[in-house]
A = this chain, B = another copy of it.
Amino acid sequence: MNSQSIINVRYVETDQMGIVHHSNYPVWYEVARTEFIKKVGITYTDMEKLGLTVPLIELQCRYLSPAFYEDELIVEVNLVTATNVKLEFRYKIYRKGEEKPINTGMTMHAIVDHNMKPMNFKKQFPDIYNSFINAIEL
């Protein structure tokens, strides 16, 4: 499964260099992840209500070319690893109509309960676990 989200760059996301500030790209990854999870068949809101939380444990971004206010961007996200304890997503961001990404990245997430304690994802939520496994893009 491959999911694409549209981002319209906001004025607040620019800085005095005249380009988008680098701290916004992880936020856009998160927007894309939210839509990805919805396509998997559950909302992240519902996952949290069930006590299934996926905080970041690692983030990597490469900034290949700048983004500007009012740019329309496409954030492509893939799930590359899903285990009992971890999820790993990969991202590519394109300016609309362009072939080369302007940014690539990855996020690694722990799978924990309400109290940030490790849990047995596969055993406690077999249906959700299987939906994630099936959504892996090799």
| A-to-B contact residues, CB < 8 Å | 8, 10-12, 14-19, 21-24, 26-27, 30-31, 34, 43-45, 48, 53, 55-64, 66, 68-70, 116
Contact = CB atoms under 8 A, between A and B. Distances in A.
Contact of A66 (B22, B27, B55): B55
A31 to B, nearest CB: 6
A15 B17 contact: no
A57 B60 CA distance: 11
Contacts of A55: 17, 19, 22, 63, 66
Contacts of A22: 26, 55-56, 59
Contacts of A62: 57-58
Between A53, A62, A64, the greatest number of chain B beta carbons within 10 A of the residue's beta carbon is seen for: A62
Contacts of A16: 11, 14-19, 48, 69
Given A12-B15, A26-B23, A69 B45 contact: yes
Between A21, A24, A26, A55, the greatest number of chain B beta carbons within 10 A of the residue's beta carbon is seen for: A21
A105 to B, nearest CB: 8
Contacts of A21: 11-12
A49 to B, nearest CB: 11
